[in-house]
Amino acid sequence: DAGITQSPRHKVTETGTPVTLRCHQTENHRYMYWYRQDPGHGLRLIHYSYGVKDTDKGEVSDGYSVSRSKTEDFLLTLESATSSQTSVYFCAISESTGSNEKLFFGSGTQLSVL
């Protein structure tokens, strides 16, 4: 899967607890993304990174924070998990070739907040 690994694959947590999801790449790509996937909404961008310590918000960033201290790792933290954050979370890396672009997605993390 293009050298991208997400962990954990599944997690069940309780409302109010902090949760951190990890994305690791072996491709040395500059751009990394966190999306959430929900029925009827497709994939929505949470946060993205364009380099070490360079991050920016996506369309659904409230309640989430990210960090990127190394090129290969991009962490997503739910500061205080809520039931509305139950979702499948996907990390992606971007490979640009000239004017085209290809996102490679990880296998996803199924998060349940009870």
Q: Is 50 in the site for another protein (CB under 8 A)?
A: yes
Under 8 Å between Cβ of 101 and 93: no
Window 12-41: residues binding another protein (CB under 8 A):
31, 33, 35, 40-41
Q: Is 1 among the residues that bind another protein (CB under 8 A)?
A: yes
Residue type (1 letter), 63: G
When asked if residue 94 is in the footprint of another protein (CB under 8 A), the reply is yes
Torsion of CA 6, 8, 9, 13, to 10 degrees: -140
The minimum distance between CB 91 and another protein, in angstroms, equals: 9
Out of 53, 97, 100, 114, point to the residue binding another protein (CB under 8 A): 100
Q: Residue 48 interacts with another protein (CB under 8 A)?
A: yes
Residues that bind another protein (CB under 8 A): 1, 31, 33, 35, 40-45, 48, 50, 58-59, 90, 92, 94, 99-103, 105-108
